[in-house]
Structure formats: C-alpha cells, structure tokens
Structure 1
C-alpha cells in the first residue's frame, strides 16, 4: 500500500472508458467539515487558511457552491484531478484501465477534506490543507478529526495485501495524519536526495517530482513485492543500500 499527498493544483477530468469510479468513503464527514467552513466569514476563512485576498475570494465562493452530494453519481477521479508536481510525475492520463484498477487497490491519497481517497474516488476541486488548525468535534485540528478514520481505513486495506507494508510517499504534513503506532503493517519512508560531491541535499521540488515518478513506476509495473521498488531508476535516481535502513530507503542522483 502506497500513500501520497494531494496537491493544491486541481482540474476536473473524466475517467477513461471502462473505468468505474467510486464514492469517497468519508463523504458524510467531509460534508460536516464543509458545513463548518461555510459558517466562516470571508475574513475568518482568510485568517484560517492564510490566504491572499484574491485566493480567499475564490476559495470562499468555491466552498459555497460545492455540492458534495453530487459525488454519489458524478465528479472527477481523484488521481486524474490533482495536477501538482507529483501528479505530473505519475501521469495518470497515460495509465491503462488495468493500471488504474491496480492503483485503486494499492494507492491512497490523503486529504484534508476527505480524509483518505482511493484513486478512482470522485471529487470536486477544493482547498483544505491537512495542517489547517480547524476546530471540530474531535479536537482543534484536522489531524484530530481524521487520524483514527484514516488509520482504520489503511489497516483494512493493508489486511488485504499479500505482503502488508505501508510505503510513505506523502509529505510530512500529510503523513502525520496516520497513527503509525496503530498500523498492522510496517512503515517504509522513501527519501530522495541530490548528490553534490560528498554532500546529499533534499530539494523539495525535486522530491515532489520523484515521489510522483516512483508512484507511477509502482502503478505501471503493478508491483507486488516491495523489493522491486529498488529497481526504480527514473530521472537518474538509484537506490543506495549503504545509506538505507529497513525503515528508510534512500534514492539519490547527481545534482543537475
């Protein structure tokens, strides 16, 4: 099982012919969050999400026109909706129907609004980061609202795997929403670094792209054995066993 962060960049898309889309598991909980957000004034929303005036105006309008009940029959597949750097690396529009079916079983996208999404779950474009300090019935943050639900969902999915393992390709902000101590499977962090002589450096934009490339590699090769991830060599990355542990695998490449 592989987890990803969502992206701010989103655009509605359609599923390829023959691909069956699905309803997000936590739609009722998402509707509760949406109802709470709609009680905020434009100024309160701006302060909560730390938005500029123009973006705040668009976000406020989006929240008040979004109809989540429409996802029961319509909407855009999550994996094809997100358009950030990582998702460009995945390039889901070039995936076959069989690839997307595999992704539906083995990939999850963490979400501030929906908690956790399967790739073919239908969504509407939204803006709500997991790190938003939003009071709710479970506590003062979205982590409090989602952590138990996300972890339970992942455990159910992991129980279906032949070799249960959670492969983390999410950012720290989103990975924090999983209660690692309650997982029924080991946790594996994947790191990407740039080589500069003897030094190794993390460059955020390159890491985002690499996460997407590895997720695409995982999907298109329909990997069943985690060891096969070590064969990932896209964009000149290579696995560094001498710098890796059982819990953290490091991939590096020469700096451009």
Structure 2
C-alpha cells in the first residue's frame, strides 16, 4: 500500500533535523526545468497566477531565480502546513522513517512526486496553476509522468493499493494514469456531517502518521484509524470512498 499526500505552501527550513541519509528526487531535472522557466515570470505575473501578495510574489520570484543555489532539505521535514502538523514528523521515531520512505509519497507541482527523504529546495508552485512551459496549465505539462511513477512504486510494493490522502487539486496529476487493477481508496474526513477544510487537512497527515507508526500495509487495517476522535463510518462509506467522522 502506498499513501499519497499533498504538499504544503508553508515551509520549514530552520528547525533542526536528524542526521539522515537523504535521497534524490525522481524528477529533479523536471523541477530544475520548471524553476528555470518560472524564473522569467515577473512578480506581478506570479502574484496573479498564485493569487498571493506582492511580498510573497517577491519571495517566490527570488526562490526561482536562485533555485540552483538554494538549500536542500528532506521533503517530510521541509513542508510545514496543516497536513504536516498532523503528521508531526518531529515527534516520529526515527526508526519509522524507512517505512515512510517506502510507503508514503508527497505529490508536488514542482517535483511531481517526492519520497519523504527526497531532498527539495524551497518553492511554491501549486498543481492547479494555470501556467507551464509550452502548456496552458501545470497538469498538462506533467501529463502521465506522475501517474506512471506512482504506478511503478505501487507495482514494486506488491499490494497494488493507493490510499489517497491528497486534495483533488493534486490528485488531478495522477487521476486517469494508474492501471485499472490498482485499487484507490479515498478518505473523507468529517466533523459530524460537516466538512471542515483545516480539520480534514490535519487529519490526512494524522492518518499517514498512524499508518507509518503502526507499519500498516493492509488497506483494510486502516479502518482502525482512531486518532483525535475519528472513527470509521461504515454506513457512509463505499468500497473505495471511506468516511471517518468525529
């Protein structure tokens, strides 16, 4: 079983991290190509494309221009948004990281797909961005590459199951490109009957953390997820769309 998460807009390149053996991203060259192309975008254009403030546009324009010389950090320690608050890698036992490396994938607009210990440089480029070199949008530029890479990892894992903890925006980079015999189970987190985005994002990270902590490889065992008061709602679930409520 391979679980997939979305990335985060917020990054942490300051906190101390363990002494690890990092890995190289599968799509490092593609990331360099995208960063080089994005370095030619003006701050105004970046602000419009990403719907961000002038200050954030300047920050990201500088990141793209200086991408080759930027510091690198294992992705699971670099992302710092709501999902990664839920995952809370800082308190994860170091012995669990090899399992995470094998069974967790982080989707990315710039890097396509990352393993937790793959080195990444600071960036912001969302999968839903309506820009890409010689294409109208980023998902078109990536085409089937992310889906094929995920399919390779699923095949190597042997279970042929994907636990989809990503947002719709990022799953769009994978959807339609996996073999028909790969089972995808998507998770819907609710507070009662309500969908609360902040809570759902955090819960996705918590579920990935729970899978890693318990070294779970059987999708059916994931129904036992019970962090932060969540419980599997069988009545509101189907075979490939599970609901957890609290």
TM-score by length of 1: 0.90
Conserved 8 A contact 2:108-2:127: yes
Q: Measure the CA separation in 2 of the matches of 1:135 and 1:240.
A: 40
- Of 173-182 and 19-28, deviating more is 173-182
15, 18, 27: which is aligned to 1:16?
Answer: 18
- Of 24-33 and 139-148, deviating more is 139-148
Superposition deviation, residue 194 in structure 1: 1.2
Instruction: Quote the residue 1:155 is aligned against.
Output: 151
Instruction: Quote the residue 2:174 is aligned against.
Output: 178
184, 209, 225: which is aligned to 1:232?
Answer: 225
Superposition deviation, residue 128 in structure 1: 0.7
The number of residue pairs the alignment matches comes to 243
Within a 5 Å distance, the mapping from 1:34-73 to structure 2 comes to 34-67=35-68
Q: Please give the per-residue CA displacement for 1:194-230, whole angstroms capped at 9, x wherever unaligned.
A: 11xxxx1101011011111101001111101111111
Q: Measure the CA separation in 1 of the matches of 2:194 and 2:174.
A: 26
Instruction: Quote the residue 1:167 is aligned against.
Output: 163
- Of 116-125 and 158-167, deviating more is 158-167
218, 223, 227: which is aligned to 2:211?
Answer: 218
Q: Measure the CA separation in 2 of the matches of 1:135 and 1:101.
A: 34
| Residue 244 of structure 1 pairs with residue 237 of structure 2 | yes
60, 79, 82: which is aligned to 1:82?
Answer: 79
Superposition deviation, residue 14 in structure 1: 5.4
Q: Measure the CA separation in 2 of the matches of 1:85 and 1:251.
A: 18
Instruction: Quote the residue 1:208 is aligned against.
Output: 201
Change (3 A) 1:98 1:147: farther
* 4+ long deviations beyond 6 Å: none
Q: Measure the CA separation in 2 of the matches of 1:120 and 1:181.
A: 25
Instruction: Quote the residue 1:188 is aligned against.
Output: 185
Superposition deviation, residue 243 in structure 1: 1.4
89, 95, 104: which is aligned to 2:92?
Answer: 95
Q: Secondary structure at the match of 1:58?
A: helix
Q: Please give the per-residue CA displacement for 1:84-115, whole angstroms capped at 9, x wherever unaligned.
A: 11101111122223211111111100001101
Instruction: Quote the residue 1:108 is aligned against.
Output: 105
RMSD: 1.6
TM-score by length of 2: 0.93
Q: Measure the CA separation in 2 of the matches of 1:96 and 1:29.
A: 32
Within a 5 Å distance, the mapping from 1:128-143 to structure 2 comes to 128-137=125-134, 139-143=135-139
Superposition deviation, residue 162 in structure 1: 3.2
Q: Measure the CA separation in 1 of the matches of 2:172 and 2:103.
A: 20
